[in-house]
Amino acid sequence: MAKKSKKQQAGGTPATVALTAAGVEYTVHAYEHDPAHPSYGEEAAEAMGVSPERVFKTLVADVDGALVVAVVPVAGSLDLKSLATAVGGKRAAMADPTLAERTTGYVRGGISPLGQRKRLRTVLDASADAHATICVSAGRRGLEVELSPGDLAKLTEAVTAPIARA
């Protein structure tokens, strides 16, 4: 069994541990998750009092047989064709949720683009650049991390491209 760091033992997640290790400035926002809420992302925006355009959801897609992470605003949806184009692929479809959970090490609704078990190719929607900071999952339902889009892109080695639809 892997030994957990003090941060993880104290309630940190692999995402917050990765941010701390990288020396990146970030803020954690915790809220009470309601399992009955129809949208994890919209719930996060409402609970934090943040515009849905600044809260981004992490989606895992299959592009030509390879898993790819898409980070898009909760106010919109993922354009699968644009995602495929952004990574030089032809076809994209949403990944099997069980495979996404197993590969990232996170549960659905709490998948973070940071600190994943297996680092996946990542594409950040270009709209993120319009904000000084954005919020993404910190690795569990009811926990978000706020950071600059530039830091997120750097830490995940993300490509930035227009992959969201309003």
Candidate from 12-21, 42-51, 70-79, 131-140 with smallest mean pLDDT: 42-51
CA nearest to 122, candidates 76, 81, 164, 154: 154
Question: Residue 8 pLDDT more than 90?
Answer: no
What does the pLDDT read at residue 157? 97
What does the pLDDT read at residue 166? 83
Across all residues in the chain, what is the average pLDDT? 91
What distance in Å separates the CA atoms of residue 31 and residue 43, rounded to the nearest whole number? 9
Crossing angle for the helix pair 14-22 and 149-156, to the nearest 10 degrees = 100
State if pTM tops 0.85: yes
pLDDT average, residue stretch 121-147:
96
What does the pLDDT read at residue 11? 54
Question: Residue 4 pLDDT more than 90?
Answer: no
pLDDT average, residue stretch 19-46:
90
How many alpha carbons lie under 13 Å from residue 138 in its C-beta half-sphere? 22
Q: How many CB atoms lie within 10 A of CB 107?
A: 13
pLDDT average, residue stretch 122-144:
96
Question: Residue 116 pLDDT more than 90?
Answer: yes
pLDDT average, residue stretch 34-49:
87
Residue 146 confidence class, pLDDT cut points 50, 70, 90: very high
